[in-house]
Structure 1
Amino acid sequence: MTMNQPLPHPQLLLQLDALRDKAMAATSLNALAFSMANDLYPLLPFHQALVFRQAKGALELLCVSGLARPSEDSPYLVWLKRASRWLAGVVGDQTPAWLTQATATPPPDIAEGWAEWWPAGLLCVPLHTPDGERLGMLLLLLEEAPPAALYQHMDGLTRTWAYCWSALTRRQRLGRWRPSRRQVLLAALLFGALLLVPVRQTALAPAQIVSRQAQIVTSPIDGVINQVQVRPNQPVEAGTPLFALDETTLRSRADVLGKEVAVADAELVAASQRAFDNPQSQGELTLLQGRAQQRRAELAAVQAQLKRTQVLAPRAGVAVFSDPNDWLGKPVSTGERIMQVADPAQPAMQIQLAVADAIALEPGAEVTLFLTAYPLSPLKGKVLETSYQARPADDGVVAYRLLASIDEHAAHARLGLHGTAKLYGDRVILGYYLLRRPLASLRAWSGW
């Protein structure tokens, strides 16, 4: 059966219904394009079928009949991109159009490729939405124009393709939303404006509650701690015994020196009696007097140390230290720190601000302390003093030491509690607040 002979009407209807069913069964735009490019061949034999998607100002190739996926670097497809831009401007109506080189008058570069790759004519079947927006185009390469009766029956098939195309495209847009250029520009402007918003510069640092009036209690002499007479956090008054050093060595030394003083005194008395009869003994008398004075001075020094073995509280407060068992039997040297006597009525915040998190802070800057034991009851305060030199903390992190007051007297502001302090600095723009540490790391890495 040739193309000039009319098709049997029932057979044509059955083939068109089958094509509509395949179009409605497509689950993606690529599946619909593959059906359009290949399933139409039994109804209308063609050399090649091409399915294009309407892009901005041009047609984008979706499917080529007989190919699963077209190659992007073939000479034919490179020329086809130029030809599709020409076809997008030539075919402007919503009805199928039959084009030949004689009727279309393509440009010389398009005409040269047409003569090499395309047959005599092209059947262009555009697909449009009900609003008139072009969705794509089906291009059939034929040797001669199809029968006129086929145009009437293909109108319903073309509408079905356009409906399925629009539905699949809408679902794809809902699944994969891509912002437009205008939306991207507005988002960039909004983001740039947000970076200029002034915010309060802040930093987080570990902190603990200490006393503003605390006195360090140290070992008065070298020795071994024999007894700790208070418990941690025990209230004490001025003069309360805190701890005692072992007196065994000092008492033994005092006994020996006492006997040496007695011997020196006896020798001095004997020399004094001999001096009346022997003038030569007067020189020995002076030496023995000096030796006796030396022994008494040594004995007085040891007795003074014995009086200092008992350490008393220098003021009223609370004894702050870790565990008595950590000190019992431990040798200590003169000036070694043993404990603190702190006034619990004057609490303050001791903050260790790491060098990497340091911001510009001056006395009077606001501080908020979130205690680990009371996270819902923050304490407010202000910076009292800051150290200009950073030193390693107990955890090895180099940090600045800050002391801050506590504005309101709270019952839960107990000495020794730990938490996280939030320090408030000057106002800066949001861009500087977010990029401060990355810029500092970049400068440290690059040396610029």
Structure 2
Amino acid sequence: MNEPFPPAPLLMYLDALRERAMAAESIDALAFTMANDLHAVQAFRQALVFAEHGRRRELLCVSGLALPDEDSPYLVWLNRASAWVAAQLDSQTPRWLARDAVEPPADIAEGWAEWWPAGVWCVPVHAPDGRRLALLLVLLDDPPGEAFATVLRGVVKTWGYCWWALARRNWRFGWRPSRRQVLIACALVALLLFVPVRQTVLAPAEIVSSNARIVSSPIDGVIASLAVSPNQRVNAGALLFSLDETSLRSRVDVLRRQVAVADAELTAASQRAFDNVQSKNELTVLNGVAEQRRAELAAVTAQLQRTRVFAPENGVAVFSDPNDWIGKPVVTGERILQLADPGKPAILVHLAVADAIALDAGDEVTLYLTAWPLAPLHGRIVETSYEARPTEDDIVAYRLLASVDDAAGEREHARLGLHGTAKLYGKPVSLAYYLLRRPLAALRAWTGL
């Protein structure tokens, strides 16, 4: 006999199920309609939807629950029960599992008796290529009718196609690795942490001269004028700057008068010494006073001659804004400017204490100038400071001096005063040490361990 044709309302509702599946925008939305919308045509205790990821299954939806509690004893048992149920399906056909007809493991049987009814209808959902994507478990007291199971096959195929399409669309964002892939990735990361890498650090730097001569103030005074401009080339003997001569000229005039007075007193005493014994005794004292006044006059005159400072050799005058110096009081030995040789450039690096790594003379340095970012300068460290000192930016840093290689085209960009960022290369270390050096240093500084 031919099977009775399904009633029209059932066919219309199954068609509505297909439309809802096609309208789902995500796998979670599809799982929700699979678990809940079937209840209108087939009453059940509960429906569970599992997504299959290789040998691992993930519970996506439980009918009647918005957000299952993953720590509940029921869901913990479901993880074990779903693995056993999935192993009982050897084809794409749905299967009815009755509690009295199968022999599950003891822990599965105990939970079945507590939480599940007499049977479970297992509906596998497959992709068009035959790969199983999901598993729908419908908890029933009695097996579903043969006619209902037959007409539901078309809906199950629609679920499989929609699931497969959504998985492909969301592959880039929704891919979840398997446990084996996670372990392999962790092993690779662990091996990468032992890969040796060159330890590097970045620090601000500038171009200076390796042969620079400091020009300082020869006496105490006030800067009257600067005869040169910053970065101006000067020849040996050229006037660099002048100190104010007003006070020294006044002292010279006063001392000249004092010398004249001392000489007059000495002459008068010499004339009185012919007939006055007391005047003879004053000659020695007056002569000493006159010599003292002449010595003071000679010293002040010598200082007056040193108020004009000349260049001791050829070079480039390196100093700050002239307006910062004119009218400024200076003391003997205070640096006013530098005479640098532009033909002997060097790299001056200020390495902050927080970024300091182990560096030795001869280690490589690469300088990326702000003015020439595509033409880096290369060199090697020739000098390192033992003590860190504050810089002009109030950063405690070590001072390092590096040479500039004679490579073609590099020295033409090494102009005095240019700034940039230097990359310093230290000794090879493991990648783990390279990444965790600063966090470990901060942790030890904070904990004191």
Normalization by structure 2: what TM-score?
A: 0.83
Which of 323, 327, 330 pairs up with 1:329?
Answer: 327
Please report how far the alpha carbon of residue 49 of structure 1 lies from its aligned counterpart in structure 2 after TM superposition.
Answer: 4.7
Please report how far the alpha carbon of residue 336 of structure 1 lies from its aligned counterpart in structure 2 after TM superposition.
Answer: 1.4
Which of 340, 343, 358 pairs up with 1:342?
Answer: 340
Please report how far the alpha carbon of residue 388 of structure 1 lies from its aligned counterpart in structure 2 after TM superposition.
Answer: 0.7
Match for residue 446 of structure 1? 447
Match for residue 369 of structure 1? 367
Match for residue 124 of structure 1? 121
Q: How does 1:105-120 map to 2 (within 5 A)?
A: none
Distance 1:108 1:90 in 2: 16
Residue 427 in 1 paired to residue 428 in 2?
yes
Which of 26, 50, 53 pairs up with 2:50?
Answer: 53
Please report how far the alpha carbon of residue 22 of structure 1 lies from its aligned counterpart in structure 2 after TM superposition.
Answer: 1.7
Which of 212, 215, 218 pairs up with 2:216?
Answer: 218
Please report how far the alpha carbon of residue 135 of structure 1 lies from its aligned counterpart in structure 2 after TM superposition.
Answer: 3.0
Please report how far the alpha carbon of residue 394 of structure 1 lies from its aligned counterpart in structure 2 after TM superposition.
Answer: 0.9
Please report how far the alpha carbon of residue 391 of structure 1 lies from its aligned counterpart in structure 2 after TM superposition.
Answer: 0.6
Match for residue 12 of structure 1? 7
Normalization by structure 1: what TM-score?
A: 0.84
- Judging changes above 3 Å, is the alpha-carbon distance between structure 1 residues 353 and 126 closer, same or farther for their aligned structure 2 residues? same
Distance 1:447 1:375 in 2: 41
Please report how far the alpha carbon of residue 167 of structure 1 lies from its aligned counterpart in structure 2 after TM superposition.
Answer: 4.5
Distance 1:22 1:127 in 2: 17
Is residue 363–residue 383 contact of structure 1 (8 Å, CA) maintained in 2? Answer: yes
Look up the SS of the partner of 2:10 in the other structure: helix
Look up the SS of the partner of 1:389 in the other structure: coil
- What is the identity, as a one-letter code, of the residue corresponding to 1:429? S
Please report how far the alpha carbon of residue 176 of structure 1 lies from its aligned counterpart in structure 2 after TM superposition.
Answer: 0.6
- What is the identity, as a one-letter code, of the residue corresponding to 1:421? A
Distance 2:274 2:253 in 1: 33
- What is the identity, as a one-letter code, of the residue corresponding to 1:270? A
Please report how far the alpha carbon of residue 97 of structure 1 lies from its aligned counterpart in structure 2 after TM superposition.
Answer: 5.0
Is residue 133–residue 160 contact of structure 2 (8 Å, CA) maintained in 1? Answer: no
Distance 2:17 2:155 in 1: 11
Identity of aligned residues (%): 58
Structure 1: 5+ residue stretches without partners = 1-5
Please report how far the alpha carbon of residue 61 of structure 1 lies from its aligned counterpart in structure 2 after TM superposition.
Answer: 7.4
Please report how far the alpha carbon of residue 179 of structure 1 lies from its aligned counterpart in structure 2 after TM superposition.
Answer: 1.2
Output one character per residue of 1:328-387: Cα deviation in whole Å (capped at 9) or x when no partner: 222221111111122222121111111112122222222222221122222222211111
Q: How does 1:47-446 map to 2 (within 5 A)?
A: 48-53=45-50, 56=55, 60=59, 62-64=61-63, 67=64, 69=66, 72=69, 95-97=93-95, 102-104=100-102, 122=119, 124-129=121-126, 131=130, 133=132, 135-139=134-138, 141-142=140-141, 149-168=147-166, 171=169, 175-408=173-406, 410-446=411-447
Match for residue 3 of structure 1? none
Distance 2:161 2:412 in 1: 74
Please report how far the alpha carbon of residue 393 of structure 1 lies from its aligned counterpart in structure 2 after TM superposition.
Answer: 0.8
Distance 1:166 1:92 in 2: 20
Distance 1:63 1:108 in 2: 24
Is residue 390–residue 398 contact of structure 1 (8 Å, CA) maintained in 2? Answer: yes
Question: Which structure has the larger Rg over C-alpha atoms?
Answer: 1
- What is the identity, as a one-letter code, of the residue corresponding to 1:432? Y
Across the aligned residues of Structure 1 and Structure 2, the Cα RMSD in angstroms comes to 3.4
Please report how far the alpha carbon of residue 231 of structure 1 lies from its aligned counterpart in structure 2 after TM superposition.
Answer: 2.3
Output one character per residue of 1:406-440: Cα deviation in whole Å (capped at 9) or x when no partner: 12272232211111222222222222222222221
Look up the SS of the partner of 1:436 in the other structure: helix
Please report how far the alpha carbon of residue 74 of structure 1 lies from its aligned counterpart in structure 2 after TM superposition.
Answer: 8.3
Is residue 35–residue 61 contact of structure 2 (8 Å, CA) maintained in 1? Answer: no
Is residue 202–residue 423 contact of structure 2 (8 Å, CA) maintained in 1? Answer: yes
Distance 1:382 1:258 in 2: 59
- What is the identity, as a one-letter code, of the residue corresponding to 2:292? Q
Output one character per residue of 1:50-77: Cα deviation in whole Å (capped at 9) or x when no partner: 244265577947333xx35376488987
- Judging changes above 3 Å, is the alpha-carbon distance between structure 1 residues 169 and 332 closer, same or farther for their aligned structure 2 residues? closer
Distance 2:447 2:228 in 1: 56
Look up the SS of the partner of 1:204 in the other structure: strand
Is residue 207–residue 415 contact of structure 2 (8 Å, CA) maintained in 1? Answer: yes
Is residue 91–residue 124 contact of structure 1 (8 Å, CA) maintained in 2? Answer: no
Distance 1:223 1:151 in 2: 108
Distance 2:191 2:376 in 1: 33
- What is the identity, as a one-letter code, of the residue corresponding to 1:319? A
- Judging changes above 3 Å, is the alpha-carbon distance between structure 1 residues 376 and 400 closer, same or farther for their aligned structure 2 residues? same
Is residue 321–residue 340 contact of structure 1 (8 Å, CA) maintained in 2? Answer: yes
Please report how far the alpha carbon of residue 18 of structure 1 lies from its aligned counterpart in structure 2 after TM superposition.
Answer: 3.0
Please report how far the alpha carbon of residue 20 of structure 1 lies from its aligned counterpart in structure 2 after TM superposition.
Answer: 3.4
Distance 1:313 1:413 in 2: 24
Please report how far the alpha carbon of residue 183 of structure 1 lies from its aligned counterpart in structure 2 after TM superposition.
Answer: 1.8
Is residue 52–residue 60 contact of structure 1 (8 Å, CA) maintained in 2? Answer: yes
Look up the SS of the partner of 1:16 in the other structure: helix
Number of aligned residue pairs: give it.
437
- What is the identity, as a one-letter code, of the residue corresponding to 1:193? L
Distance 2:193 2:106 in 1: 54
Is residue 30–residue 163 contact of structure 2 (8 Å, CA) maintained in 1? Answer: yes
Distance 1:132 1:387 in 2: 68
Look up the SS of the partner of 1:209 in the other structure: strand
Distance 2:383 2:77 in 1: 77
Residue 23 in 1 paired to residue 18 in 2?
yes
Look up the SS of the partner of 1:280 in the other structure: helix
Look up the SS of the partner of 1:339 in the other structure: strand
